Amino acid sequence: MAGSSFAPFSMVATTDLYTDFGRRNRIGAPNARTAAPAPGVAVGDAVGARGAAAVAAPAGEVLLRARGLAKSFRGLRALDGVDVDIRAGEIVGLLGPNGSGKSTFINVISGHFAPSGGELTLDGASIVRLPAHRIARAGVARTYQIPRPFAHLTVLENVAVTAAFGRCARSRPDALAEAMRWLRFTGLADKADASPDALNLHQRKFLELARALAAGPRLVLLDEVLCGLTPAEMDEAVALVRRIRDQGPAVLIVEHVMRAVTALADRVIVFNEGVLLAQGSAADVMRDPAVVTAYLGRGAHA
């Protein structure tokens, strides 16, 4: 990368996600009609919180395993002993009310924050003490809840940064070629030379995806990439996420838009106040009284 104007990869992974709080139970919170447990309908695979056995995933070996994963911020337990498996080739939807620990989970997996406790393995090897760039090299890529491209680089260069410093180290020409491939994949090829400032929200979200994919990940962590899109843009994004999985990586997608989660996720996990509240099919977990209460508050079943 001699002569490259790219920023070091560690810079890519150091922006803070601590944003967007103050929203309260947005869309994705089930409405009374769809969420209330139908009489006589079993909760199915939805399981209780701490210590719950993982639901059998559709296929693949366990890629990422979290056991007792914890993260505290000055006494606030953002993650409070989470057990989650993500298997190769699956799309897992991560739901939960605002402040339930979803972004923190992504931040801890990607090495943005060191966990306060617990185990985290990728392909059986611990990644607990690895810095973000080493975790990226090991095959974990993530998007940020609020896209934060490098404003001084073009769209193409923004993607080339992760292509250069991701799972495979690449020369500048190779990184640019790889970046172009992912811009085509995300439909942004004609914006390659543009400044990220010239992109609309939809395009900035897809730029986030292209940057994550260019790293050659085995696991992609998507933090609300669909939020704020129009219904048509969302359909396009859902199709894109499916195509991402078809390329090989497992996907963990944090999303409040239930229509998208239902369309995408092989299974869903739900956090509440830093603990795993439920997991199973989207339909089953959204009928789980504990999930309904977490989203709508006590008395939702009255």
Ligand X SMILES: Nc1ncnc2c1ncn2[C@@H]1O[C@H](COP(=O)(O)OP(=O)(O)OP(=O)(O)O)[C@@H](O)[C@H]1O
Write out the residues near Mg ion by the rule CB under 5 A: 102-103
Contact partners, residue 137, CB within 8 Å, separation at least 6: 166, 167
Q: Under rule CB under 6 A, which residues in 113-172 are in contact with ligand X? A: 145
Pairing of strands 76-87, 62-73: antiparallel
Nearer to ligand X, 100 or 158 (CB): 100
Residues in the chain: 302
Per DSSP, which regions of 96-173 are E strands? Answer: 117-122, 125-126, 140-142
Cβ atoms of residues 110 and 126 within 8 Å? no
Phi first, then psi: give them for residue 95, nearest 5 degrees. Answer: -115, 165
In the complex, minimum distance from the CB of residue 84 to ligand X, in angstroms, rounded to a whole number:
14
Cβ atoms of residues 141 and 220 within 8 Å? yes
Q: Is 112 in the site for ligand X (CB under 6 A)?
A: no
Query: What percent helix, strand, coil does the chain show, rounded to 5?
Result: 35, 20, 45
In the three-class reduction of DSSP (H, G, I as helix; E, B as strand; rest coil), residue 278 is classed as strand
Q: Is 10 in the site for ligand X (CB under 6 A)?
A: no
The region of 73-81, 121-129, 130-138, 174-182 touching ligand X under the rule CB under 6 A is 73-81
Q: Is 204 in the site for ligand X (CB under 6 A)?
A: no
The region of 102-110, 151-159, 233-241, 262-270 touching ligand X under the rule CB under 6 A is 102-110
Count, in order, helices (H) and strands (E) of the chain: 11, 10
Nearer to ligand X, 29 or 155 (CB): 29
Q: Is 20 in the site for ligand X (CB under 6 A)?
A: yes
What order do you get walking across the sheet with 125-126 strand by strand?
Answer: 76-87, 62-73, 117-122, 125-126
Q: Under rule CB under 6 A, which residues in 22-51 are in contact with ligand X? A: 23
Query: Can you tell me the distance from the alpha carbon of 143 to that of 129, in angstroms, rounded to the nearest whole number?
Result: 21
Nearer to ligand X, 47 or 78 (CB): 78
Out of 65, 102, 202, 204, the only residue in the binding site for ligand X (CB under 6 A) is: 102
In the complex, minimum distance from the CB of residue 261 to ligand X, in angstroms, rounded to a whole number:
13
The region of 94-102, 160-168, 226-234, 287-295 touching ligand X under the rule CB under 6 A is 94-102
Q: Is 100 in the site for ligand X (CB under 6 A)?
A: yes
Q: Under rule CB under 6 A, which residues in 236-255 are in contact with ligand X? A: none
Q: Is 103 in the site for ligand X (CB under 6 A)?
A: yes
- Residue ranges of the alpha helices (H) in the chain? 9-12, 32-35, 102-109, 132-137, 155-165, 172-185, 201-214, 231-246, 258-264, 282-285, 289-296
In the complex, minimum distance from the CB of residue 128 to ligand X, in angstroms, rounded to a whole number:
18
Cβ atoms of residues 93 and 120 within 8 Å? no
Q: Which of ligand X, Mg ion, none has residue 100 at its interface (CB below 5 to 8 Å by kind)? A: ligand X
Q: Which residue is nearest to Mg ion (CB)?
A: 103
The residue written with tokens 């991701």 in the block is 166
- Please tell me the count of residues contacting ligand X according to CB under 6 A: 16
Token pair of 70 as six digits? 């914890």
Nearer to ligand X, 18 or 51 (CB): 18
Q: Which of Mg ion, ligand X, none has residue 23 at its interface (CB below 5 to 8 Å by kind)? A: ligand X
In the complex, minimum distance from the CB of residue 70 to ligand X, in angstroms, rounded to a whole number:
12
The residue written with tokens 């719950």 in the block is 52
Token pair of 160 as six digits? 């080339």
Q: Which residues bind ligand X (CB under 6 A)?
A: 18, 20-21, 23, 73, 76, 78, 96, 98-104, 145
